[in-house]
Amino acid sequence: DWRKLLPGVWFHDPGLATTSGAESAITELDGENGILRYRGYPIEQLAEKSTFLEVSYLLLNGELPNQQQSDGWVNEITHHTYLHEKFRRKMYDSFHYDAHPMGLLCSNVAGLSTFYPDSKEIDDPANRMQQAVRLIAKMPTLATSAYRHSVGQPFVFPDNTLDYASNFLRMMFELGNPYEVDPAFQRAMEVLLILHADHEQNCSTTTARVVGSSHTDPYTAMSAACGALYGPRHGGANEAVLNMLDGIGSYENVEPFIEGVKAGNERLMGFGHRVYKNYDPRARIIKEAAHDVFAVTGTNPLLDIALKLEEAALSDEYFISRKLYPNVDFYSGLIYESMGFPRNMFTVLFAIGRMPGWLAHWDEMLDQDSRIARPRQLYTGEAERDYIAMSDR
For residue 27, which phi and psi values (nearest 5 degrees)?
Answer: -130, 135
Q: Which contacts (CB < 8 Å, 24+ apart) does range 205-209 have?
A: 205/354, 205/357, 205/358, 205/361, 206/16, 206/21, 208/358, 208/359, 208/361, 208/362, 209/21, 209/22, 209/361, 209/362, 209/365, 209/370, 209/373
Catalytic residue chosen out of the listed positions 159, 163, 234, 304: 234
Q: Which residues contact 25 (CB under 8 A, 6 or more apart)?
A: 39, 62, 364
Q: Does 272 bind ligand CMC (CB under 6 A)?
A: yes
Interacting residue with ligand CMC among 329, 337, 363, 364 (CB under 6 A) = 329
Q: Are 371 and 213 in contact (CB under 8 A)?
A: yes
Q: Looking at 38-46, 122-130, 266-274, 365-373, which segment touches ligand CMC (CB under 6 A)? A: 266-274
Q: Looking at 91-99, 152-160, 261-269, 331-339, which segment touches ligand CMC (CB under 6 A)? A: 261-269
Q: Does 310 bind ligand CMC (CB under 6 A)?
A: no
**CB of residue 257 vs ligand CMC: minimum separation in angstroms?**
11
Q: Does 235 bind ligand CMC (CB under 6 A)?
A: yes
Q: Are 333 and 238 in contact (CB under 8 A)?
A: yes
- Has 234 been annotated as catalytic? yes
Q: Does 120 bind ligand CMC (CB under 6 A)?
A: no
CA-to-CA distance for 314 and 303, rounded, in angstroms?
A: 16
Q: Does 261 bind ligand CMC (CB under 6 A)?
A: yes
Q: Does 324 bind ligand CMC (CB under 6 A)?
A: yes
Q: In what order do the strands lie in the sheet with 41-42?
A: 27-30, 35-38, 41-42
- Has 386 been annotated as catalytic? no
Which one, of 200, 132, 141, 211, lies nearest residue 171 by Cα? Answer: 141
Number of residues that bind ligand CMC (CB under 6 A): 21
**CB of residue 231 vs ligand CMC: minimum separation in angstroms?**
9
- Has 329 been annotated as catalytic? yes
Interacting residue with ligand CMC among 37, 120, 187, 234 (CB under 6 A) = 234
Q: Does 327 bind ligand CMC (CB under 6 A)?
A: yes
Task: Return the number of the residue (110 or 268) whose C-beta is nearest ligand CMC.
Answer: 268
CA-to-CA distance for 168 and 163, rounded, in angstroms?
A: 9
Q: Which residues are marked as active site?
A: 234, 273, 329
- Residues in the site for ligand CMC, rule: CB under 6 A? 15, 199, 202, 233-235, 237, 261, 267-274, 322, 324, 327-329
